[in-house]
Amino acid sequence: MSLFNQNLFLGIDIGTTSIKIVELRRINSRVELSNYGILEKYGHLERINDAIQTSTFKLLEESTALLLRQLLRTARVDTAVSYMALPGFSGFVSLIDFPIMNEKELAKAIRYQAVQYIPMSLEEMTLDWQIIETSADRIKVLLMAVPTDLIKRYVKTAELSKLTLKGLELETVAVARLLGIKEKNPAAVVDIGGRTTSISIIDNGSLRQTHNIDTAGGDLTQVIASGLGINPIRAEEIKKTTSLNSEYRGEIDMLKLLSPLLDVIKRETEKAINNYYLQSKRTIEKIILTGGGANLNGLDKYYSQSLSLPVVKGDPFSWGLISYHPNLAPVIREIGTNLTAACAVAFKYV
């Protein structure tokens, strides 16, 4: 690596349907997107399978690293200094309230309390925590736990990809912190991925609660495929190019097709909002859609009407957190939300 690349930072988000990378750099007081790449696993699966066919047994890390390296090469990434997002569904996040105590006592108390909050053997988990609020008599701590085995697999993937891994963080925590720079009021962040949707509440700049459901973009594609009697690849195309408000071939109403699934996500969002109100007496003022699924044409309008709340897309570019070359404007408009998690894990360090 040359000295010129010292201010470049790579953010990596390995999702179940695609791998996203961003290269960020600091220019004076700004953070700029200097490079990005998305590899949709579907389209490349055949070729990748060819490449690893010779071996009878390959670990998941090896095939992921193969894809990642291919993406890094294609995007001509200039730095190995990288930060990775851990999938939201892989971790547990809890907000715990403690009386005022010193750091050392707090660390002990957290470890002691963790057993109650984490539904897995603590021996298999790596714990982390952040103080997110301190008042006159209370300390609010965000407790995070991730299976140690998963962390090892990410470390291995980075190693196989010849990357210098500097940080690993739950994507929900990172995204909350990034968007929380701009959005200080209570808001619900709905990250619609390929296989999972995570619904988080952010408040005063940090994550407060999060949960996952397995209704996501892939299900929408499936419903279109079976509804129209077409293959999933064609259905995926239609999903990305048709608006919820318009009709396909004048016959099929996308909204009618997709609303049962969209309403599952909506109801879970309402539940999260109510739950947060019960716990904190604070009212959610906005819905922030992110992840690839946020690009569904007309979704923001559909949710804002049925939830009676403003709905915005959560991408760091249109929010003015990360600048980009003007030539990229059309691309960013299309895939800005896909890159949010990759940006979020690296942003703090840029």
Ligand X SMILES: Nc1ncnc2c1ncn2[C@@H]1O[C@H](COP(=O)(O)OP(=O)(O)OP(=O)(O)O)[C@@H](O)[C@H]1O
Span 70-89, contacts to ligand X by CB under 6 A: 87
Tell me which of 118, 216, 265, 345 binds ligand X, using CB under 6 A: 216
- Any idea how long the chain is? 350
Shorter beta-carbon distance to ligand X: residue 74 or 164: 74
Q: In the bound complex, what is the minimum distance in angstroms from residue 194's beta carbon to ligand X?
A: 4
Q: How far apart are CA 341 and CA 17, in angstroms?
A: 14
* Segment interacting with ligand X, rule: CB under 6 A, options 76-84, 285-293, 306-314, 324-332: 285-293
CA neighbor of 31 nearest in space, from 327, 319, 314, 333: 319
**Residues near ligand X (CB under 6 A), total:** 22
Token duo for residue 273? 């909002």
Could you say which of Mg ion, ligand X, none residue 195 binds, taking C-beta under 5 to 8 angstroms by partner kind?
ligand X
Cβ-proximal residues to 60 (8 Å cutoff; 6+ apart), any chain: 153
Smallest gap, in angstroms, from Cβ of residue 87 to ligand X? Answer: 6
* 3-class secondary structure, 119: coil
Write out the binding residues for ligand X, residues 7-46 only, by CB under 6 A.
Answer: 15-18
Q: Fill in the per-residue mask, 4 to 43: x = in contact with Mg ion (CB under 5 A), - = not in contact.
A: -----------x----------------------------
Q: State how far the Cα of 72 lies from the Cα of 79, in Å rounded to an integer.
A: 10
CA 326 to each of CA 76, 164, 182, 295, 331: distance values in angstroms, whole numbers, following the listed order: 20, 30, 22, 20, 10
Supply 47's token pair.
């070729």
DSSP secondary structure letters along 192-253 = E-SS-EEEEEEETTEEEEEEEES--HHHHHHHHHHHHT--HHHHHHHHHHS-TTSEETTTEE
Query: Could you tell which of Mg ion, ligand X, none binds residue 194, using a CB distance below 5 to 8 A set by kind?
Result: ligand X
Residue 216 binds which of ligand X, Mg ion, none (CB < 5-8 A, kind-dependent) = ligand X
Give the x-and-dash track for 227-246 against ligand X (CB under 6 A). ---------x--xx------
Query: Of 114 and 292, which has the nearer Cβ to Mg ion?
Result: 292
Structure-token match 């709340």, residue found: 309
261 contacts: CB under 8 Å, gap ≥ 6: 215, 219, 220, 223
Q: Is 316 in the site for ligand X (CB under 6 A)?
A: no
List the interface residues with Mg ion, window 169-198 (CB under 5 A).
Answer: 193
Residues that bind ligand X (CB under 6 A): 15-18, 87, 193-196, 216-218, 221, 236, 239-240, 291-293, 295-296, 338
Residues that bind Mg ion (CB under 5 A): 15, 193
